[in-house]
Amino acid sequence: MTPKLVIGAGVLVVASVLVVLAIARAPAAEIACGAGFFPRGMRCCVSREGPCGAASQCPSPLVAGPRGCVPPPKRVRIPETTVTVGPSDWEAEGRVSPRSVHVASFEIDAFEVVVDEVACPSCVRPEPAAFGSGDPARAAANLSLSDASTICRKKGGRLPTDDEWLVAAAGAKPRRYPWGDTGAVCRRGAWGLVTGPCAHGDASADTVGAHPDGDTELGIHDLAGNVAEWVVAGATHDDRARLRGGSYATSLATELRTWSYRDVDPHAHPEAGARCAYDLGPSSP
């Protein structure tokens, strides 16, 4: 080997080692937040400094409330829908029994239940920021099925049925993800925050509405990721209940698919939250 080739090979080896060391020392990926939100640790906050939920101006879709930025009381009308769920989505084969789903028109909250709406401290994951000066727009977590049902009743609603949640997330096509058929990436939801691809560390529920790229075409936020949502599923046994939508702890994109769910015991789970649904009266247009 000529001297020039030896020198060139040596430079290449040194450069390769430096690249490997840089990758090894690189910090974990920064979480992706919507416009107006600021990544802080494993959270999307409305301010760069100070309390996560306090800001002089709230980013859309949040609005100003007595304790800080909060989601508006917005409901989304879901039209009467019939959709076939099953092998029509090749990735659902072997995971979902083919069936036809029909739901009457109903309304569902555009946002998950947040800390500001929860009256009882026992219903929320105990942490200093949960009450007082904490983030009022953070999704309420660590809810049991009973907690979730009680909260929705106090709001004048109920938990959505399994089929209603599925139609709200998948639409009539159906969509593979709430936002469409394209892949799950970090900007579309709070997921993969514990061991997944979006960040690494001690994560928990995030601010609702902070990932608008993951909204449905009707404007429902966070149906994939953030907190897993309790639904009423008649097919489960008395000692099991159903969670849909994945969560911040979800590490695989397949668990964010609209047809994916987990049957668990009905007790409180760190990643479990709620979203409320509402019946339409006879005079509703």
Which CATH number belongs to the domain containing residue 159 in this structure? Answer: 3.90.1580.10
Q: Is the pLDDT of residue 143 over 70?
A: yes
Residue 194 counted as domain residue: yes
Residue 42 counted as domain residue: no
Inter-residue contact 19 to 25 (CB < 8 Å): no
Q: What proportion of the chain, given as a percentage, has pLDDT over 70?
A: 77
Distances from the Cα of 74 to the Cα of 28, 120, 281, angstroms: 35, 23, 18
Q: What predicted TM-score, i.e. pTM, was given to this entire model?
A: 0.83
Strand 261-264 versus strand 272-273 pairing type: unpaired
Residue 3 counted as domain residue: no
Q: Average pLDDT of 111-127?
A: 68
Residue 53 counted as domain residue: no
- pLDDT for 67 equals 84
Structural domain of residue 168, as residue ranges?
Answer: 72-278
Q: Round to whole Å and give the CA distance between 66 and 82.
A: 41
Q: Is the pLDDT of residue 123 over 60?
A: no
> How many domains does one find in the chain?
1
Q: Average pLDDT of 236-248?
A: 87
- pLDDT for 33 equals 94
Q: Average pLDDT of 22-42?
A: 68
Q: What is the mean pLDDT of the chain?
A: 82
Distances from the Cα of 138 to the Cα of 36, 79, 173, 178, 200, angstroms: 16, 29, 31, 20, 19
Residue 14 counted as domain residue: no
Total H helices, total E strands in the chain = 3, 13
Residue 113 counted as domain residue: yes
Tokens at 201, concatenated: 């560390």
Confidence of residue 92 (pLDDT cuts 50, 70, 90): low
Residue 90 counted as domain residue: yes
Q: Average pLDDT of 1-22?
A: 37
Q: Phi/psi of residue 224, each to 5°?
A: -120, 120
- pLDDT for 35 equals 94
Sequence-distant (6+) residues with CB within 8 A of 233 are: 161, 162, 241, 242, 261, 263
The better pLDDT of the pair 5, 78 is held by 78
Distances from the Cα of 136 to the Cα of 69, 106, 168, 256, 257, angstroms: 7, 27, 25, 25, 28
